[in-house]
Amino acid sequence: NNNTNNNTNNNTNNNTTKIAIIVYTLYGHIGTLAESVKKGIESTGAQCTIFQVPETLTEEILGKMHAPPKPKYPIMTAAKMEEFDSFMFGLSGRFGIMPAQMKSFMDSTGSLWMGGKLVGKTGGCFFSTGCQGGGQETMGIATVTFLSHHGMVFIPLGYVDPKVMSIDEVHGASAYGSGTIAGGDGSRQPSTLEKDVGESHGKHFATIAAKLAA
């Protein structure tokens, strides 16, 4: 996962769709998949920046969990969301639901909800879970409720990439979004198939987002 590359597309045309990928990544799986999604987004000419949400765990707890250092992505704030047309949320599963860190961030957007600041914007999601039953669909459903309350439009992956339906190997992804399977101990990294689907997801998402932002 190369987080040292320039994180923002240099295309600054005012008509360019601005998409923020907002992630919480503990062991790096979501960070890796986010890079593939970003590649797909940028292939359409859209402008894309990867952000991360604030960590809520202490350094002591993270150390006991053997968590690696955080990537160098900038921190997203609720206020900054007004600057973007569209959002992709990268979610690492916790007991079939999104992590508390992402939920805490979403809960901080109350002032945007009160002002209708996100109405009409678009959103999507992708996932990392320990196993195939770990939330590849339930986290998508949870994201839809957040978007709906803000009056936003959900753009699912569907099955636009046939690899989502492949049974040749274990892999993440569902109709709600692309995904990866980390394994119970987190040792499995995103596969070529999963990264390919992530790229397809980003391209499809950005194409639809641009039409709705026009």
Predicted confidence band of residue 94 (pLDDT cuts 50, 70, 90): confident
Assess contact for 7 and 13: CB atoms under 8 A: no
Task: Report DSSP letters for 80-110, one per residue.
Answer: GGGG-SEEEEEEE-BTTB--HHHHHHHHTTH
Residue 15 has pLDDT above 80, yes or no: no
- What's the average model confidence in pLDDT over 97-122? 96
- Cα of 62 vs its chain's centroid, Å: 22
pTM above 0.75, yes or no: yes
pLDDT tens-digit profile of 127-155? 999 998 899 999 999 999 999 999 999 99
Q: How far, in Å, are 2, 53, 119, 147 from residue 33 at the CA level? A: 11, 16, 27, 22
Q: Where are the alpha helices (DSSP H) in 5-129?
A: 29-42, 59-64, 100-107, 110-115
Share the mean pLDDT of the chain: 92
- What's the average model confidence in pLDDT over 158-177? 95
Q: How far, in Å, are 15, 85, 126, 134, 166 from residue 173 at the CA level? A: 31, 24, 8, 11, 10
More confident residue, 3 or 17: 17
Predicted confidence band of residue 184 (pLDDT cuts 50, 70, 90): confident
Rounded CA gap, 163 and 159, in Å?
Answer: 8
Instruction: Return the amino acid letter for 156.
Output: P
- What's the average model confidence in pLDDT over 166-172? 94
Tell me what pLDDT residue 12 has. 42
